Amino acid sequence: MDIAQVVLDVALDKLFDYRIPPELVPAIRTGVRVTVPFGRTVREGYVLALADHSDYPEVRPLLGVADGAAHLPEKLVELGNWMADYYCCSREQAIRTLLPAPVRQGKIREKFRLYAALPDRDAAAAFVAAHAGKKNAAARSALLETLLADADGTLPLDELLESCTASRASVRTLEKNGLIRLEKHSVRRDPFAGREVIPAQPLRPSPEQAAALDRINRMLLGEDRRHVLLLHGVTNSGKTEVYLQAIARTLELGRSAIVLVPEISLTPQTVRRFRARFGDRLSILHSRLSDGERFDEWHRISRHETAIAVGARSALFAPFRNLGLIVVDEEHESSYKQSEAPRYSARDVAVMRGRLENAVVILGSATPSAESRRNAETGKYALATLSRQVSEQLAPHVRIIDLRLGGPPEKGKSNFFSPLLIEAVRERLERGEQSILFLNRRGYARMLLCEQCGYEATCPNCSVGFTYSRQRRTLSCHLCGLVVPAPENCPDCGSPEIRYSGVGTEKIEAAAAAVFQHARIARMDSDSMRGADDYETVLEKFRRAEIDILIGTQMIAKGLHFPNVTLVGIINADSGLMLPDFRAPERTFQLITQVAGRAGRGDVRGEVIIQSYNPDNETIRFAAEQDFEGFSRYDLEAREMLAYPPFTHLIALHFRGEDESRVANFAAEFTEALRPYCGDAVKISGPLPAPIERIKGKFRYMTLLRGAALGRVRPQLRHMVLHGKTPPGVEVYADVDAQSLL
């Protein structure tokens, strides 16, 4: 093995061969960061593989191992290679994902601070005694006296100079005389600097928690052939406590742990809870770290100075070499799927990393995804259930309001709030309690809806909403390709009030201000929240009850605890249901569950009002009854019948470009070229215009591949996507296990 195959941040999906000089052979293995000649320059790259020989006639020797020790564990390189193959992305993209930018780019270095130390305490004391009262040595005496007063005789130079109002010149003189020594100490840029937490002890597990922990323990010891556990438990059932104790067990076994949470859940409360249990053995990785802090945390993990990494998606690639446990909290969250290349799912990559490293993976959720539900059902994953809340709470009182009964709104009046919802909010205002009004923002997509009777145009073959094109006046289904002319009048009630719709939180806020005139109202969505601070500020005001009504989107659905909130109004439960996406019911159920969970966390029973045009819709009914089992059965049956995931695998091929006919032609050509590799086992739908036909001036076309196994077409697909010829101005990419079909 004297050839190293190196990935450089240059060409697309290409490895470069370099000969390993004999003296470097012991140091070179996969994951090592090396310096290599490239053209007339010198570059740094990662060794991805070793080989016996090269196909290239002339192979140059590599120059050496890069300093700074930003090497990757071998198992992570293996994971990166798997990601490149599975997600059809280039090698360098996959490797880039494994490394935080400040580590990869090599611009940031370790930080040092200059210290002054006393090499000889007696000599220093003698100097001070000899120069007592001498004005010309006052500064030097002060410096030495201050150092003598310190137990270690070592102080940061800048602090020393300031406290003695001395100059660098005095220090230089002392240094020359051998009375002071200057030392460089490495300093950690500590995101927690100066913030203390009170240590906390593990809680005594409930019987269900104990059973889950027992299971995890056996998996950690390798006594279960499975390595993934689905932890299904409602909010407040003690999942986090299970994570904490499972982590503690992992550390006892001398191994390390990774905890993934959705970025939005990485709140100060969560961080405090983990720190209280594990103190300094913890690294927190979130988007607000400075480059220096990120650099230092990565190296601390790499040197195993910490044993736990908590963070959003990217924490999955923490460079531990003895990983024992990965926790994926809220595993159903769609934010675990990255929307840019490489379009990986952190949950699925976590399962793969666990497999490669023999680590246990816990997937936790109150509303597990269909994929995980199915894997637990077939026994591929172990299952543990926490069925009860830790502190038994009164379940909220849930009502569905049929929006069709309201009739057309009076002129100038808002039709967002039913009279019942208005009255419920007013009651809260009078009692000094708080309300949350929730809007499912995904309702922005274009769908055809009758204002009179709630009729919604859906595809007869696919049971998903049609996509309405105003320009063409057509309805189309991008799953099966059916296109029909859009009706002029509602096919159900004949009303001409049929149109595509979409409502935003801004409109709702204005309407609420008009209806509840003296209420203090705030809005929270990704438009009104510029930064993390805005988010914290609004939440803090809401917590202090300085806001009566909080209006928002998904952002407010997450596990926030507000005991004074006794009412949750869901403005239009249908808006997400009608999207042309087979995951629409699942998302709607998850959202309603999450939002409803915000009501009545104190000792007062909460109320949830669900407004809907489809009060008989199964998803809405299951959600109102909080019947997860019922919903799950219904959802899985529908998906099985229609051959959607988790009963098949799905790859969405995207084509985009400014010239529509060029995009359409290329999409058709590409799909045809792929067809022979698909065989009978893979079903091809499309190409068709994507439901959102144009984004940023680019037309979008999509082809869907579905099959029980897509392993056979994947290599060809990957090759065509990365190395095939595309016409100028047209791009193609594969979205493997696509979460959104819009």
Tell me which stretch binds ligand ADP (CB under 6 A): 56-64, 171-179, 205-213, 699-707. Answer: 205-213
3-state SS string for 646-707: CCCEEEEEEEEECCHHHHHHHHHHHHHHHHHHHCCCEEEEEEEEEEEEEECCEEEEEEEEEE
- Whole-angstrom Cα distance, residue 673 to residue 675? 6
Output Rg (C-alpha) for the chain, integer angstroms. 31
Closest to Zn ion by CB, 357 vs 635, is 635
Q: Which does 238 bind (CB under 5 to 8 A by kind): Zn ion, ligand ADP, none?
A: ligand ADP
- Whole-angstrom Cα distance, residue 468 to residue 445? 9
Closest to ligand ADP by CB, 204 vs 225, is 204
Longest dimension (CA), the chain: 107
> In whole angstroms, how far apart are CA 457 and each of 450, 613, 619, 685?
9, 13, 17, 21
Q: Give the pair of three-digit tokens for residue 476.
A: 């189309």
DSSP state of 309: E
- Whole-angstrom Cα distance, residue 285 to residue 314? 8
459 belongs to the binding site for Zn ion (CB under 5 A): yes
User: How many residues form the binding site for Zn ion (CB under 5 A)?
Assistant: 15
Count Cβ atoms within 10 A of the Cβ of residue 252 and give its class: 0-12 exposed, 13-18 middle, 19 or more buried: exposed
Q: Give the pair of three-digit tokens for residue 702.
A: 């999509």
Exactly one of 103, 116, 477, 560 binds Zn ion (CB under 5 A); that residue is 477
Closest to Zn ion by CB, 177 vs 461, is 461
452 belongs to the binding site for Zn ion (CB under 5 A): yes
Q: Would you give the binding string for ligand ADP spanning residues 389-428, x where CB under 6 A is met?
A: -x--------------------------------------
Exactly one of 100, 233, 342, 686 binds ligand ADP (CB under 6 A); that residue is 233
Closest to Zn ion by CB, 22 vs 407, is 407
Q: Which does 459 bind (CB under 5 to 8 A by kind): Zn ion, ligand ADP, none?
A: Zn ion
Report residue 549: phi and psi, to 5°: -130, 125
DSSP state of 606: P
User: How many residues form the binding site for ligand ADP (CB under 6 A)?
Assistant: 14
Closest to ligand ADP by CB, 426 vs 543, is 543
- Whole-angstrom Cα distance, residue 297 to residue 280? 12
368 belongs to the binding site for ligand ADP (CB under 6 A): no
Whether cis (ω within 30° of 0) applies to the bond prior to 646 is: yes
Q: Give the pair of three-digit tokens for residue 386.
A: 């926490």
Closest to ligand ADP by CB, 6 vs 350, is 350
Q: Which residues contact 454 (CB under 8 A, 6 or more apart)?
A: 403, 404, 574, 613, 614
What minimum distance in Å lies between the beta carbon of 384 and ligand ADP? 12
703 belongs to the binding site for ligand ADP (CB under 6 A): no
Q: Nearest Cα to 737, choosing from 94, 83, 100, 98?
A: 83
Exactly one of 206, 322, 385, 458 binds ligand ADP (CB under 6 A); that residue is 206
Closest to Zn ion by CB, 104 vs 583, is 583
Closest to ligand ADP by CB, 231 vs 361, is 231
Q: Would you give the binding string for Zn ion spanning residues 483-502, x where CB under 5 A is met?
A: -------x-xx-x-------
What minimum distance in Å lies between the beta carbon of 223 and ligand ADP? 24
Q: Which does 235 bind (CB under 5 to 8 A by kind): ligand ADP, Zn ion, none?
A: ligand ADP
Tell me which stretch binds Zn ion (CB under 5 A): 4-12, 282-290, 472-480, 606-614. Answer: 472-480
Q: Which residues contact 324 (CB under 8 A, 6 or more apart)?
A: 220, 250, 253, 255, 256, 257, 359, 360
203 belongs to the binding site for ligand ADP (CB under 6 A): yes
Closest to Zn ion by CB, 36 vs 462, is 462
> In whole angstroms, how far apart are CA 550 and each of 136, 509, 572?
68, 9, 16
Q: Would you give the binding string for ligand ADP spanning residues 149-188, x where CB under 6 A is met?
A: ----------------------------------------
Closest to ligand ADP by CB, 236 vs 671, is 236
- Amino acid identity, residue 413? K
Closest to Zn ion by CB, 138 vs 482, is 482
What minimum distance in Å lies between the beta carbon of 236 and ligand ADP? 5
Tell me which stretch binds ligand ADP (CB under 6 A): 46-54, 232-240, 407-415, 657-665. Answer: 232-240
> In whole angstroms, how far apart are CA 66 and each of 32, 34, 78?
8, 5, 20
365 belongs to the binding site for ligand ADP (CB under 6 A): no
**700 in Cβ contact with 655 (< 8 Å):** yes
Q: Which does 233 bind (CB under 5 to 8 A by kind): Zn ion, ligand ADP, none?
A: ligand ADP
Q: Give the pair of three-digit tokens for residue 331.
A: 């595993």
Tell me which stretch binds ligand ADP (CB under 6 A): 79-87, 201-209, 334-342, 479-487. Answer: 201-209
641 belongs to the binding site for ligand ADP (CB under 6 A): no
Closest to Zn ion by CB, 269 vs 461, is 461
In terms of residues, how long is the chain? Answer: 742
Residue 494 backbone class (left: φ over 0; alpha: ψ -120 to 50; beta: rest): left
What minimum distance in Å lies between the beta carbon of 234 and ligand ADP? 7
Closest to Zn ion by CB, 342 vs 691, is 691
Closest to Zn ion by CB, 493 vs 521, is 493
Q: Give the pair of three-digit tokens for residue 304.
A: 């195993």
What minimum distance in Å lies between the beta carbon of 238 and ligand ADP? 3
- Whole-angstrom Cα distance, residue 447 to residue 466? 7
> Do the bridges between strand 698-707 and strand 682-695 make them parallel or antiparallel, or are there none, so unpaired?
antiparallel
Place of tokens 């009963």: 647
Exactly one of 6, 124, 462, 736 binds Zn ion (CB under 5 A); that residue is 462
Exactly one of 295, 455, 468, 516 binds Zn ion (CB under 5 A); that residue is 455
205 belongs to the binding site for ligand ADP (CB under 6 A): yes
Q: Nearest Cα to 266, choosing from 244, 292, 281, 288?
A: 288
Q: Would you give the binding string for ligand ADP spanning residues 237-266, x where CB under 6 A is met?
A: xxxxx-------------------------
What minimum distance in Å lies between the beta carbon of 628 and Zn ion? 28
Cα three-residue angle 715-720-722, rounded to 5 degrees:
95
**282 in Cβ contact with 347 (< 8 Å):** no
What minimum distance in Å lies between the beta carbon of 201 and ligand ADP? 11
Q: Give the pair of three-digit tokens for residue 257.
A: 């742990």
Closest to ligand ADP by CB, 230 vs 705, is 230
- Amino acid identity, residue 596? A
Residues at the interface with Zn ion (CB under 5 A): 450, 452-453, 455, 459, 461-462, 477, 479-480, 482, 490, 492-493, 495
* Residues in touch with ligand ADP (CB under 6 A): 203-206, 209, 233, 235-241, 390
